[in-house]
Amino acid sequence: MDLLLFCAVHFCFLIPQSICNFHEAHMFFYGLFEIVHERNNCKALTRGWMEQKWMNRAIELAENGMKAGHGGPFGCVVVKNGELLAEGHNEVILSNDPTSHAEIVAIRKACKKLNSFQLSGCDIYASCEPCPMCLGAIYWARPERVFFAANRKDAARIGFDDEFIYEELQIDPGSRSIPMIFTDNRKALELFKKWADKEDKTEY
């Protein structure tokens, strides 16, 4: 219940019967609900305006990076408590790094700024729906929410088709277009056991 409404309901019980008949109470609560309704509408409008503000910034970053020749038209912003935490655009060409997608760049900056490997309480604004790689990074970073503008089909129409990666994930590793070959080596499992037994490990 809205705090204003909660206080008013409890206050009403304190009003003497002689000065608060049914009609007066009805008018009082009608006016009160109007105030609460308008205030909630105002909050929604403010929230929507802020979301649009950060998305516009992500799109602006995408365009700036594209014009600079740094990579594809993708931008990302990380926000915490309504404040800009970090931002980035696609830098694949600039850094010769295929993992330098906008979301990865922004997540790395944000985590460094927070001195944490998780983005608890943060919102991510991406100019386009995250690709499978970025989606994985987002789940590992654990933000609160992710907003995106264009979707994967929009990206596919301009040459950034991630659909085949989603399809590859459904195929047996050895049958993928880039074969994933299992090599039986017990040392890997022994190392996993050492991690499981490690008492001072930081889990994530």
Pairing of strands 75-80, 122-128: antiparallel
Contact 175, 168 (CB under 8 A): no
Active-site choice (24, 38, 103, 203): 103
Neighbours of 129 (CB within 10 A): 17
Based on the residue annotation, tell me whether 103 is a catalytic residue of this protein.
yes
CA dist., res. 198 & res. 196, Å (int)? 6
Report how far residue 66's alpha carbon sits from residue 61's, in angstroms, rounded to the nearest whole number: 8
In Å, how far are 55, 91, 147, 182 from 61, measured between CA atoms?
10, 11, 15, 41
User: Which positions are annotated as active-site residues?
Assistant: 103
